[in-house]
């Protein structure tokens, strides 16, 4: 009984969508398949990748990714196939381009801005007299 519960709990952790066509035989290809499908948004349920989604469209898209991998297509070609049809929005990590510069640059810009603010505050405070020293005089 105990083991059954553990087994069930482990099964529940398997959030990956199930496929009829199963895994690719070539391990390297299968790893590329995992990486690519995790980077593609399922447009039916927009917060899931096509690797995680059980939507019919996601299943069909996984099949197409598999076929393209077997046909020897490069990652760029596969992503190109998807963005030609569904736009840049399908990619969870859009390529670094002029128009995506804001997305990629914003974290660094914010870090820099925060750093400057902290630096100024610390410098200003360090110039202040220490107020926990006993006051001079009687």
Partner 1 sequence: MWKFLLPFAAFIGLAVLFAFGLNPSRDIHALPSPLIGKPAPTFALSDVLDPARTVSNGSLKGQVYVLNVWGTWCIACREEHEELLAIAQQRVVPIVGIDWSIDHELKERDKAQQWLQQLGNPYSSVAFDHDGRTVIDWGVTAAPETFLVDGGGRVIYKFISPMTAEVWQKEFLPRIAAARRAGA
State the residues that interact with partner 1 by CB under 8 A: 43-44, 56-57, 60-61, 64, 83-87, 89
Question: Is the Cβ–Cβ distance between 90 and 83 less than 8 Å?
Answer: yes
Output 30 or 83, the one with its CB closest to partner 1.
83
84 or 132: CB nearest partner 1:
84
Minimum distance from CB of 121 to partner 1 (Å)?
13
Q: How far is the CB of 92 from partner 1 (least distance, A)?
A: 15
Least Å distance, CB 11 to partner 1, is 24
In angstroms, what CA-CA distances link 81 with 11, 25, 55, 78, 90? 34, 23, 20, 5, 11
Do residues 89 and 47 make contact, with C-beta atoms less than 8 angstroms apart?
no
Per the CB < 8 A criterion, the answer to whether 81 and 74 are in contact is: no
Which is nearer to partner 1, 87 or 95 (by Cβ)?
87
């Amino acid at each position: 009984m105990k083991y059954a519960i553990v087994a069930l709990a482990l099964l529940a952790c398997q959030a990956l969508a199930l496929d009829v066509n199963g895994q690719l035989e070539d391990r390297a290809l299968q790893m590329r398949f995992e990486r690519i499908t995790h980077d593609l948004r399922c447009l039916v349920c927009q917060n899931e990748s096509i690797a995680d989604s059980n939507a019919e469209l996601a299943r069909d898209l996984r099949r197409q990714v598999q076929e393209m991998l077997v046909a020897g297509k490069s990652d760029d070609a596969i992503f190109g196939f998807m963005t030609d049809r569904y736009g840049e929005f399908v990619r969870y990590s859009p390529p670094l381009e002029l128009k995506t510069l804001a997305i990629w640059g914003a974290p660094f810009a914010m870090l820099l801005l925060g750093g400057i603010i902290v630096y100024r505050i610390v410098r200003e405070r360090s110039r202040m007299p220490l107020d926990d020293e006993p006051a001079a005089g009687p």
